[in-house]
């Protein structure tokens, strides 16, 4: 009988448990350290690395950028993906706010549910109200059937309200109540016929909502309601370290779409111009520029600063003629030179002849000519190339 009990699993478990308690020193009311190897700092770091979110590598494939701002953005995206609260995405136009919103949806538990996007600035107030909340039959002229709004259709998915700051005051009031109560009432229905919704709401705007609130154009209570989990999508000029990677990604994308006529390379002055440009259109403008260069590349396949300047000019940017702006408005030595004070009033041919004369004085040495004018070599080179292209495009007078 005793032998049977001692060999039973339960007896062995109790014996091991008591032996373990004695080793921990429970009888003396304090714990004695257990013998064993101490974990090294390297092992600790390895353990931390193993805890890195496994979704990070997939997110890197979707959103390009390794700068500090982009690493922080990706961390916030993965945190927001597991969050059910309302998310506010802010940032300038062209920074990829919808991409951020879709990534939040796709990397979270709601990824198998619908992702429904509405551009609040593209619809009239009545149409927006119908799209968001739905309407019953006969609610207005043309409402011949019942229509489900996105709040009802989204189920347990994600509703993305883009250009959220463009909403009228009356729509802000109605949306505030919807977000507070998590209930919607279709247009034209009775007050008692409200529909619960379980979707997560993500809103985005390129407006400064704090300023809009201060100036009375946006409701303060709605701002607090949506600003639960704020995410800022950074401007391209704030993460120029990512520029080479972005260019490479965009070129590879064009190759996949068979839009790249030949491989493109950028000389050092072209890259410097791209790095010094302020990118008011952000990544969208960069994508436009790279595609333009890809479908109409230089004969050699090597993109110069002059090619970049011309492409930017086609973008309609106020900074596209940067070399001229530098020469005319940054108070460099060439503006204080008596011969150069009339540059602003020169015709293109006169201006080009002026620079070529300076080059002739120093034996064609571009660096020395630029030094005489008090500007950078790349600025002078870019301006000469631009003037030559513009003059070649003019009709020849016989």
Parts of the chain with a pLDDT under 70: 1-51, 191-192, 259-262, 315-347, 390-398
Helices (H) and strands (E) in the chain, counts: 20, 11
Q: Are strands 200-205 and 87-90 parallel, antiparallel or unpaired?
A: parallel
pLDDT, position 47: 43
pLDDT, position 318: 41
Indicate the SS3 state at residue 164.
helix
pLDDT, position 289: 92
pLDDT, position 320: 43
Shortest CA distance to 213 belongs to which of 201, 226, 203, 202? 226
Shortest CA distance to 280 belongs to which of 220, 320, 314? 320
Tell me the residue ranges of DSSP E strands in 15-169. 87-90, 115-119, 134-135, 147-148, 158-162
Tell me the residue ranges of DSSP E strands in the chain. 87-90, 115-119, 134-135, 147-148, 158-162, 183-184, 195-196, 200-205, 229-232, 265-266, 302-303
Q: What domains lie within the chain, and their CATH numbers?
A: 56-234 (3.40.50.300), 242-393 (no CATH)
Report yes or no on whether pTM surpasses 0.85. no
Q: Which helix (DSSP H) or strand (DSSP E) does residue 396 occupy?
A: none
Tell me how far apart the alpha carbons of residues 22 and 235 are, in angstroms, rounded to a whole number: 62
pLDDT, position 83: 93
User: How would you class 371 by CB atoms within 10 Å of its CB: exposed for 0-12, middle for 13-18, buried for 19 or more?
Assistant: middle
Tell me how far apart the alpha carbons of residues 163 and 118 are, in angstroms, rounded to a whole number: 9
Shortest CA distance to 250 belongs to which of 294, 301, 196? 294
DSSP letters, 279-304, are: -TTHHHHHHHHHHHHHHS--TTSEEP
Question: What does the pLDDT look like over 229-279, one tens digit per residue?
Answer: 999 999 999 999 999 999 999 998 888 887 666 678 899 888 888 888 888
């Amino acid at each position: 009988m005793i032998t049977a009990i001692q060999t039973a699993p339960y007896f062995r478990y109790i014996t091991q448990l008591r032996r373990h308690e004695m080793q921990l020193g429970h009888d003396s009311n304090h714990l004695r350290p257990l013998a064993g190897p101490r974990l090294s700092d390297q092992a600790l770091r390895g353990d931390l690395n193993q805890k890195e979110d496994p979704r990070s590598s997939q997110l890197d494939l979707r959103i390009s950028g390794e700068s500090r701002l982009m690493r922080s953005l990706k961390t916030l995206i993965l945190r927001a993906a597991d969050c059910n609260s309302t998310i506010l995405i802010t940032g300038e136009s062209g920074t990829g706010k919808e991409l951020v919103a879709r990534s939040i949806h796709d990397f979270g538990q709601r990824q198998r549910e619908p992702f429904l996007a509405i551009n609040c600035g593209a619809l009239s107030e009545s149409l927006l109200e119908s799209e968001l909340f739905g309407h019953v039959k006969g609610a207005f002229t043309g409402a011949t059937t019942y229509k489900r709004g996105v709040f009802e259709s989204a189920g347990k998915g994600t509703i993305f309200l883009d250009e959220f700051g463009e909403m009228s005051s009356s729509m802000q009031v109605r949306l505030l109540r919807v977000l507070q109560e998590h209930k919607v009432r279709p247009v034209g229905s009775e007050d008692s016929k409200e529909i619960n919704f379980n979707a997560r709401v993500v809103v985005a705007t390129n407006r400064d909502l704090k300023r809009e609130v201060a100036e009375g154009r946006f409701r303060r209570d709605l701002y607090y309601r949506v600003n639960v989990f704020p995410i800022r999508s950074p401007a391209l000029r704030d993460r120029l370290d990512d520029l080479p990677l972005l260019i490479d990604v965009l070129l590879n994308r064009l190759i996949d779409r068979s839009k790249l006529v030949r491989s493109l390379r950028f000389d050092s002055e072209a890259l410097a111009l791209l790095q010094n440009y302020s990118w008011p259109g952000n990544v969208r403008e960069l994508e436009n520029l790279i595609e333009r260069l890809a479908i109409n590349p230089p004969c050699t396949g090597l993109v110069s600063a002059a090619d970049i300047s011309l492409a930017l000019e086609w973008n309609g940017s106020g900074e596209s003629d940067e070399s001229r702006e530098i020469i005319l408005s940054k108070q460099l030595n060439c503006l204080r030179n008596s011969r150069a004070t009339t540059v602003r009033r020169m015709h293109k041919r006169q201006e080009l002849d002026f620079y070529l004369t300076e080059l002739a004085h120093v034996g064609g040495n571009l660096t020395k000519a630029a030094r005489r004018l008090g500007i950078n070599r790349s600025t002078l080179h870019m301006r000469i190339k631009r003037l030559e292209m513009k003059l070649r495009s003019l009709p020849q007078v016989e």
